[in-house]
Amino acid sequence: MITTRAEDKKVSEYPGGDGRYEIIDQTMKRFNYQKDALLEALDVAQETFGYLPEDLLSYLSEQLNVPLSHVYGVATFFNMFTFEPVGEQRFLVCGDPACSIAGGEEVLQAVKQYAERDFTCRTLIERSTCLGLCDQAPAALVNQTAHVNLKVDEIAALFRGNAPRSRLQVTGEPRVMTRRIGELDPLDLNEHRSKGAFEAFEKALREMTPEEVIEQVKNSGLSGRGGAGFPTGLKWQFTRDASDTPKYIVCNFDESEPGTFKDRTLMQGDPFHVLEGILIAGYAVDATQGYIFIRGEYPEATQVVQKAVEELYEAGLIGQDILGMGFNFDLTIRRSAGAYICGEETALFEAIEGNRGFPRAKPPFPTTHGLFGKPTSINNVETLALVPDIVLHGGEWLRQWGTEKSPGIKLFCLSGDVNQPGVVEAPYGLSVRQLIQQYGGGFRGEPQAILMGGAAGGLLHPDHFDIPLTNEDLSPLNVPIGSGVVMVFNQEVDLLKILKILARFFMHETCGQCVPCRVGTRQAYKLLDKISGGKGTAGDVDRLEHLAVTMRDIGLCGLGQTAPSPILSSFEHFRHIYPMPTRLDTE
């Protein structure tokens, strides 16, 4: 049902009717005052006022014709919204694993102490979950500007805005997805086109049917690079074959997995490469509308992508009758506001639709009932970045790398105790040791463990560092490649503390919809806090293991099911870190 702006009150009667809310009105108007304007309107309000005034929430309720309770529900769901003025500066200091072992906690305390001494500086200082800057730890976001490689004795520079800024660190071989990063201006469309950008899109439109495009993607063996690994060609085929219309393409750029920063690197360094993949995907599945959903902690990447999309509209590569071939496609950017759960595909749909990011039960699946209940193909940034070269060179091109069951190349995110952290583009099949020695400058210190796949991944023991990086080789160890996280911990790191930090992350990020995850994540954190503090008992360790198994088996969505994965891997490969005997040790 189409709804319009509430007319029972004049705009001038609202506290914001004096023109204060003009920018909010403009935002809602772009969405025809539909409910799906809500998250974007809240984002704009937070940026404009520095917080969400109470009267604004009532205003949004009236204008969008949704209950005030719904507006509050969405506003309180996302971490980046505040409901009181926060002062002149807002510091989000990362406290997740890579930043923690690099001194992030000490930086956080130093920031608080500096602010207390400087009474003229009104600040809000918070420990943040991962900011996607793990290769440049410790990191902080200050008023939407990222600062990296922070030092306790240089905090004054952070307050002045003079601390080091983030940069793109890329290496590897072959350089396919990342070949133009660092070589070309990310936003010079003409320069990118002179180097081959959008040749694949033109080839698809002029020389190939949508079915032929899908067939090449199938032949390539390309699977989702966000962690789930579903075959991309099949997903596109299911979406195209669905009878309902309209159909949508969604690019999942809500990269929030601790240890992951590859998508930020791609989008900031070469947005046109990914945008070309989105356009090809839209053509293949018969979609006329696409969405890019970007995590709120990526303000710089968001600006780059927004400008890149505007350039493509001006060049006629997005819009109506593209290249004179009768293909119509529009692309909309939507921003999150700090919610890891929205990386789950159906939670992401809910957020775009103006709801809290609660995952949906499956089936039905997104390819038939996705965004707005319509057939949708949702793909990760990295997945879409591989599409142009597959179309240009054919499906077999990708199979020249990797293995039969894990074909192609992958972006790995090296962080932690390595000498040269950053994004590495490499084929499947290298061992972890080769990856780190060839492209990460080697280990820093004697390695103790590697967190693979991210917060929802597992701990890899040094005995297994020479196992090939393929799904088929790592699966028996219950250690996933996932989103490509490779976070190294040397012998000086307290692994129990790392598990506690990961448990804190999931406790903070659970959506709370199901009991196993809502209660389980909190109990896991409490048990690890007790055990790592030296106050745990053998019974506590047994309870932790039983809890982890229960969460894995009955969680509603991927978050709840994989949140205990690092804990389970610690019992399988690092039982010695628990300082007391357990029931299994004594049987």
Q: How far is CA 336 from the centre of its chain?
A: 10
Q: What is the dihedral of CA 175, 179, 183, 187, to 10 degrees?
A: -150
The pLDDT of 317-333, averaged and rounded, is 97
Instruction: Look up residue 205 and give its two tokens.
Output: 């439109």
Question: Which residues 6+ apart lie within 8 Å of 241 measured at CB?
Answer: none
**CATH H superfamily, domain 170-400:** NADH-ubiquinone oxidoreductase 51kDa subunit (3.40.50.11540)
Evaluate if residue 3 carries a pLDDT over 50: no
How much is the average pLDDT of 14-32? 79
Helix (H, G, I), strand (E, B) or coil at 517: helix
Q: Does residue 572 have a pLDDT over 60?
A: yes
pLDDT for the residue 122: 73
- Is the peptide bond between 271 and the residue preceding it cis, with omega within 30 degrees of 0? no
Q: Work out whether strand 485-490 and strand 409-416 pair parallel, antiparallel, or are unpaired.
A: parallel
* Equal CATH topology for 170-400 and 409-490: no
User: What CATH number was assigned to the domain covering residues 495-586?
Assistant: 1.20.1440.230
Percent of the chain with pLDDT over 70: 95
Q: pLDDT digits over 222-241, tens only?
A: 999 988 889 999 999 999 99
Distance CA(72)–CA(305), nearest Å, equals 29
CA–CA distances in Å: residue 146 to residues 255, 302, 306 = 16, 13, 18
CATH fit for domain 409-490, picks 3.10.20.600, 3.20.20.140, 3.40.50.720, 1.10.260.30: 3.10.20.600
* Residue 570 confidence (pLDDT) above 80: yes
How far apart are alpha carbons 70 and 57 in whole angstroms? 10
Q: What would the pLDDT profile of 163-189 be if each residue is shown by its tens digit?
A: 999 999 999 999 999 999 999 999 999
Tell me if the pTM is above 0.85. Answer: yes
| Confidence check: pLDDT of 584 > 60 | no
> How would you label 73-96 residue by residue, b for 16+ Cβ within 10 Å and e otherwise?
ebbebbbbbbeeebeebbbbbbbb
Bridge partners for 382 per DSSP: none
User: Edge-to-edge strand order for the sheet containing 485-490?
Assistant: 170-172, 422-427, 409-416, 485-490, 447-452, 458-460
Is the model's pLDDT at 15 over the cut of 60? no
Among candidates 274, 252, 257, 293, which has minimal Cα distance to 132? 257
User: What's the rounded mean pLDDT across residues 515-529?
Assistant: 93
- The CA R_g of the chain, rounded to the nearest whole Å, is 24
At 300-315, the pLDDT tens digits run 999 999 999 999 999 9
The pair of structure tokens assigned to 539 is: 């019974």
pLDDT of 16 over the 80 cut: no
Residue 243 DSSP label: S
Are 259 and 455 in contact by the 8 Å Cβ rule? The answer is: yes
φ, ψ of residue 201 in degrees (nearest 5):
-65, -45
Average pLDDT value for the chain: 92
Task: Provide the residue ranges of all domains of the chain, joining segments of one domain with +.
Answer: 11-77, 93-160, 170-400, 409-490, 495-586
Q: Considering only CA atoms, which of 539, 469, 544, 557 is closest in space to residue 502?
A: 544
Asked whether residue 37 carries a pLDDT value surpassing 80, the answer given is yes
